[in-house]
């Protein structure tokens, strides 16, 4: 994952003391929080993430993708699932919020070809706006396959259309688009694509990997896992990865003669984006 879509200002990660500038709730339980974060906005690349420091302490930080980037402002999309996302969703204008970032290696947009399928499940849509924008900007055709439980949870479709992506939807309950999984639509219509980039819950990503194999396409998957440090220090967020992957950390065999063909890679450090065919799930 060497070349990002749009070469951003190369800057090492830092703690950014940001201030909330705006907040909207496009659907119940989904909150988009905008913050002023000039350095972060200047340096973040598609698919990288930040760690949000909990305003009250007492909990570990939360990994969040970066949704929009415009000028000095970046926004975060929160789906409230537990105490940390609940607390962050309560932030309002003027509140301060510390963010660590940019972290991890994002999507390698240059390797995705000219007709890219972006696949997003639920909050997995958050890190998809930046690659959609960047891919369109370099002339690629972009289709966003976007699935959620129900129509209301499919947020901001117009925003993706505005950056030039075609949006194909699916809902578990059939209230919008295909009635069923978005990966079914991908399997049916996806053969024409040059490559896939996906983000969403693990079961969806496994299904994307299967479909990609069937369609003989390469797929970049942004994995979800519970993080503690988010910076590669604790080895809490691993996934088994081909030893031959360019992203694989160097690691000796466990014992002489006992050669394993995979290593544990840190999702926060070597990822969060991996090539589907290199994962040993």
Partner 1 sequence: MVDTQPSLATNLGGLLLSAPTLMGSGCYGSGEEYAPFIDLARIGGVVLKSVTRLPRLGNDAPRLVPVASGLLNAIGLQNPGIDSYLANDVAKFADRPCAIVGSVAGFAIEDFGDVTERLAARAEIDAIEINISCPNVAHEGETFACDPKLAERATQAARARTKKPLIVKLSPNVTDIASIARVVEAAGADALAVVNTVRGMSIDVDRQAPKLGNVTGGLSGAAIRPIAVLAVWEVARAVRIPILGQGGIETARDALEFVLAGATAISVGTGNFTDPRAPITIADGIRAYLAARGCASIEEIVGAANPGYLARR
Ligand X SMILES: Cc1cc2nc3c(=O)[nH]c(=O)nc-3n(C[C@H](O)[C@H](O)[C@H](O)COP(=O)(O)OP(=O)(O)OC[C@H]3O[C@@H](n4cnc5c(N)ncnc54)[C@H](O)[C@@H]3O)c2cc1C
Ligand Y SMILES: Cc1cc2nc3c(=O)[nH]c(=O)nc-3n(C[C@H](O)[C@H](O)[C@H](O)COP(=O)(O)O)c2cc1C
Which candidate, 213, 222, 164, places its Cα nearest to that of 191?
Answer: 213
Residue window 237-256: x/- pattern of binding to ligand FES, with contact defined by CB under 6 A: x-------------------
User: Least distance in Å: CB of 207 to partner 1?
Assistant: 18
In the complex with ligand Y, which residue's Cβ is closer, 133 or 266? Answer: 266
User: Least distance in Å: CB of 162 to ligand FES?
Assistant: 34
What one-character DSSP code corresponds to residue 191? G
CA atoms of 51 and 64, how far apart (whole Å): 6
| Candidate residues 38, 83, 174, 201; the one interacting with a second copy per rule CB under 8 A | 83
DSSP string, 197-242: EEES-HHHHHHHHHHHHHHT--EEEE-----SSSSSSS--SEEEEE
In the complex with ligand Y, which residue's Cβ is closer, 104 or 127? Answer: 104
In the complex with ligand Y, which residue's Cβ is closer, 164 or 236? Answer: 236
Which candidate, 91, 118, 97, places its Cα nearest to that of 52?
Answer: 97
Distance of CA 26 to the CA centre of its chain: 19
In the complex with partner 1, which residue's Cβ is closer, 109 or 229? Answer: 229
Q: Which of residues 259-278 bind partner 1 (CB under 8 A)?
A: 260, 263-264, 269
Rule CB under 6 A: say whether 59 interacts with ligand FES: no
90 binds, among a second copy, ligand X, partner 1, none (CB under 5 to 8 A by kind): a second copy
In the complex with a second copy, which residue's Cβ is closer, 95 or 115? Answer: 95
- Which range touches ligand Y (CB under 6 A), out of 13-21, 28-36, 209-217, 228-236? 228-236
Q: What residues are paired with 57 via a beta bridge?
A: none
């Amino acid at each position: 994952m060497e070349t990002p879509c749009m070469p951003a200002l190369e800057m090492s990660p830092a703690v950014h003391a940001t201030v909330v500038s705006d907040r909207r709730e496009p659907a119940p339980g989904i909150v988009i929080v905008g913050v002023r974060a000039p350095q972060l906005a200047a340096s973040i690349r598609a698919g990288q993430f930040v760690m949000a420091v909990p305003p009250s302490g007492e909990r570990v930080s939360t990994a969040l993708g970066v949704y929009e980037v415009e000028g000095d402002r970046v926004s975060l999309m929160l789906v409230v699932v537990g105490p940390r996302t609940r607390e962050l969703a309560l932030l309002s204008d003027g509140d301060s919020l510390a963010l660590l970032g940019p972290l991890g290696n994002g999507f390698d947009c240059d390797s995705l070809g000219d007709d890219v399928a972006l696949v997003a499940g639920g909050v997995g849509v958050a890190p998809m706006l930046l690659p959609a924008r960047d891919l369109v900007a370099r002339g690629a055709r972009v289709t966003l396959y976007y699935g959620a439980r129900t129509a209301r949870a499919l947020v901001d479709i117009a925003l993706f259309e505005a950056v030039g992506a075609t949006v194909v939807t699916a809902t578990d309950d059939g209230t919008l688009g295909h009635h069923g999984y978005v990966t079914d639509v991908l399997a049916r219509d996806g053969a024409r694509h040059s490559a896939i980039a996906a983000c969403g819950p693990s079961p969806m990503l496994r299904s994307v990997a299967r479909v990609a194999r069937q369609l003989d396409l390469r797929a970049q998957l942004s994995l979800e896992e519970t993080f503690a440090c988010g910076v590669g220090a604790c080895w809490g967020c691993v996934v088994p990865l081909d030893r031959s992957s360019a992203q694989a950390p160097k690691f000796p065999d466990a014992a002489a003669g006992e050669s394993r063909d995979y290593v544990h890679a840190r999702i926060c450090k070597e990822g969060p984006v991996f090539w589907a065919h290199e994962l040993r799930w």
